[in-house]
Amino acid sequence: MSGFPTVAELAAEEDELQLDRFTNDDAWELGSALVAAARRADASVAVEVARNGHRLFSAALTGATPDNADWIERKARVVHRFGHASLYVRQTWIERGTTFEESSGLDPRLYAAHGGAVPLVVRGVGPVGVVVVSGLPQLEDHRMVVAALRAHLGR
């Protein structure tokens, strides 16, 4: 599984990506930036941004399928349950020498510990939502979200 970041690297990334606030306008800007990045990359993805269970932004680009919406829901459930990016949760199990599917005890039809869902964490408040991309290989989904969050934060 070379090329995947370690849990320590993903934890540092989550610390870096904390927000000062997250409004409906922020969700629109973040979602729109993800759509623009996907169009530049000619990526057939679906994007969702939600705060406290309220979907604030959702888009499916040409080539995205209803399966992408299912993946979004399953990845987002992992973020909500564990409080970390879906890739972080995946790598936690890998570093333990097993897989999420084998050892978590959670229904894989409901939970997917695959990269692409990242918690929206407001500094001093905690997790307030999730941003998810589905349609690329999982590491690319994750990287697309991280790049958009970094741009949103001006980093």
Q: pLDDT confidence of 1, banded at 50, 70, 90? A: very low
pTM for this prediction: 0.95
Q: Which domains does the chain possess?
A: 7-152 (3.30.450.150)
Q: What is the mean pLDDT of residues 107-124?
A: 97
Task: Determine the 3-state secondary structure of 56 from DSSP.
Answer: strand
Tally Cβ neighbours within 10 Å of residue 149: 21
Cα–chain center distance at 96 = 22
- Per-residue pLDDT of 40-99, as tens digits, reads 999 999 999 999 999 999 999 999 999 999 999 999 999 999 999 999 999 999 999 999
- Per-residue pLDDT of 26-52, as tens digits, reads 999 999 999 999 999 999 999 999 999
Which amino acid is residue 69, in one-letter code? A
